[in-house]
Amino acid sequence: MSKIYYKTSEEIELIRESSLLVSKTLAEVAKIIRPGITTKSLDDLAYTFISDHGAIPAFLNYNGFPNSLCISPNDQVVHGFPNEYIIQEGDLISVDCGVIKNKYFGDSAYTFSIGEIDEEKQKLVEVTKQCLLLAIEKAVVGSRIGDVGFAVQDHAEKNGFGVVKELVGHGVGVKLHEKPEVPNYGKRGSGIKLEEGMVIAIEPMINAGVAGVKFWSDGWTVTSKDNKPSAHFEHTVA
């Protein structure tokens, strides 16, 4: 079992720089995402933007993944391939982005609402975003991983949504995925204690319907079990 890698303040600053570039990349995506364009065009934009800023797309060729972004429309939970899918009015489009800059990783995700979305999708997006913010509030020195997960699970389930359990958040640093795992469920006061120098990516993945998911034969794409919409927000926290 691999150990938790505690970062120095200098390393955290480098991770912050990488994370800031992720944020800027998602802001560039936000400028052009609209009905009528393909998800591949968003991926092309991200590749160029990240490269132009002296960084490397973290997902590109990661375990064979062929793109710079994971783009997951509607019932896709995570790890969708950018392709010729044409974005439509009413879609939810989850965009996950990672970069490597100065050998350190940043990782973040945002679910975009395309034009007018229905009430179920609107509530799902709002609640998932709230889950992330509530979890971040718990991610302080002295708290436990279970406190972070409980914050997500409690808020999502109170609102009638399903919390994906097969996929979890993670540590971030010199690797894209480090220890500890950060589940979106848990019991208060349980799990490892959060300590100075830990950097974690918190990423609620919330389904409008049941919590279960399906793993596609392509080895990447994950969809909700009942094909209802899913939302995904992620933020790297030190």
pLDDT tens per residue across span 28-59: 999 999 999 999 999 999 999 999 999 999 99
Residue 135's pLDDT band (cuts 50, 70, 90): very high
All domains in the chain, ordered by first residue: 9-237 (3.90.230.10)
Q: What pLDDT score was predicted for residue 98?
A: 98
List pLDDT tens digits, range 150-177. Answer: 999 999 999 999 999 999 999 999 999 9
User: Angle at Cα 233 formed by Cα 230 and Cα 236, nearest 5°?
Assistant: 150
Q: What pLDDT score was predicted for residue 167?
A: 98
Q: What pLDDT score was predicted for residue 6?
A: 96
Residue 100's pLDDT band (cuts 50, 70, 90): very high
The answer, yes or no, to whether residue 1 has pLDDT greater than 90, is no
Residue 110 CA to its chain's centroid (Å): 7
Q: What pLDDT score was predicted for residue 181?
A: 97
Q: What pLDDT score was predicted for residue 108?
A: 98
Q: What pLDDT score was predicted for residue 35?
A: 98
The answer, yes or no, to whether residue 82 has pLDDT greater than 90, is yes
The percentage of the chain sitting over the pLDDT mark of 70, rounded to a whole number, equals 100
Which residues are CB-contacts of 207 (< 8 A; sequence separation ≥ 6)? Answer: 77, 161, 162, 163, 164, 213, 224, 225, 226, 228, 229, 230
Average pLDDT, the chain: 98
Element containing residue 201 per DSSP (H, E) = strand 200-202
The answer, yes or no, to whether residue 2 has pLDDT greater than 90, is no
Q: What pLDDT score was predicted for residue 137?
A: 98
The percentage of the chain sitting over the pLDDT mark of 90, rounded to a whole number, equals 99
Which residues are CB-contacts of 182 (< 8 A; sequence separation ≥ 6)? Answer: 145, 148, 149, 168, 169, 170, 171, 200, 201, 202, 203
Q: What pLDDT score was predicted for residue 152?
A: 99
Q: What pLDDT score was predicted for residue 103?
A: 97
Q: What pLDDT score was predicted for residue 74?
A: 98
Instruction: Read off the tokens for 145.
Output: 């991983």
Asked if the peptide bond before residue 82 counts as cis, ω within 30 degrees of 0, the response is: no
State which amino acid sits at residue 17: E
Average pLDDT over every residue of 104-115: 98
